[in-house]
């Protein structure tokens, strides 16, 4: 937080847009998702009802920038059909469910996995669940803080069992790990620029025993 400041994530104006973004961002950069969402907005198609009526080919064309557009078109259609049938497009009713029930329902929808479901719950539903992604796994592995079991639930428990169940904290914590992963803790790490490196010029703490820092050639 000292290095990067508040991330104001998720970058969307309303919960339904967050849900669409969470589905579209699978296996692609957020900049491409923004282009796809902008296409939906400009064409007046960013609503559950209009997405349900939209022909598959037209929807795929609008979300083309985000990649895997045919698959993601089916995923969006699956969600909006389920949302209409089960909740009448009412987000308040959707997020009135407790976390466990909501998560089970979301995971039952085609194309929605654990990371996507938790992103929807945290960022659209404002409920305290910690999102685990590749950036988080990468840094925690390098910092030698990974759980024994390499499963999504084990990674999630690592955070949720050791932090207070606070929506704002989970939001910022995850977003900051993403920022760190993009700027320093990359596939080929830029350890000299990492805020956990005691040698970093902008360091604002006592550093951190990250194995990627202590073993530069690893």
Contact 26, 71 (CB under 8 A): no
pLDDT value for 141 = 96
pLDDT digits (tens, 9 = 90+) for 2-36: 999 999 888 888 999 999 999 999 999 999 999 99
**What is d(CA 124, CA 97) in angstroms, rounded to the nearest whole number?**
13
Q: Is the dihedral of CA 182, 27, 129, 132 positive or negative?
A: negative
Query: Domain ranges in the chain?
Result: 15-124, 134-214
Class of the domain covering 15-124: mainly alpha
pLDDT tens digits for 64-91? 999 999 999 999 999 999 999 999 999 9
Does the pLDDT value for residue 204 go beyond 50? no
**pLDDT score of 208:** 61
Cβ distance 67 to 50 under 8 Å? Answer: no
- For residue range 31-43, list pLDDT tens digits in order: 999 999 999 999 9
pLDDT, position 218: 43
pLDDT digits (tens, 9 = 90+) for 131-142: 999 999 999 999
């Amino acid at each position: 937080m000292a290095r990067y400041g508040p991330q104001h994530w998720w970058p969307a104006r309303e919960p339904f847009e967050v849900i669409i973004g969470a589905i579209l961002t699978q296996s692609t950069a957020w900049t491409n998702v923004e282009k796809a969402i902008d296409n939906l907005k400009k064409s007046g198609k960013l609503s559950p009802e209009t997405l349900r009526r939209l022909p598959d080919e037209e929807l795929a064309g609008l979300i083309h920038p985000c990649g895997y557009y045919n698959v993601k078109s089916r995923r969006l259609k699956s969600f909006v059909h389920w949302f209409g049938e089960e909740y009448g497009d009412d987000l308040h009713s959707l997020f009135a469910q407790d976390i466990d029930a909501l998560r089970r329902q979301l995971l039952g929808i085609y194309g929605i996995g654990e990371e996507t479901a938790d992103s929807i719950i945290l960022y659209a539903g404002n409920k305290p669940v910690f999102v685990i992604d590749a950036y988080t796994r990468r840094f925690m592995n390098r910092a030698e803080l990974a759980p024994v079991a390499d499963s999504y639930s084990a990674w999630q428990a690592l955070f949720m069992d050791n932090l207070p169940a606070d929506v704002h904290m989970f939001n910022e914590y995850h977003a900051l790990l993403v920022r760190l992963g993009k700027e320093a803790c990359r596939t080929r790490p830029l350890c000299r620029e990492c805020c956990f490196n005691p040698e970093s010029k902008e360091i604002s703490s006592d550093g951190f025993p990250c194995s990627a820092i202590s073993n530069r050639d690893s």
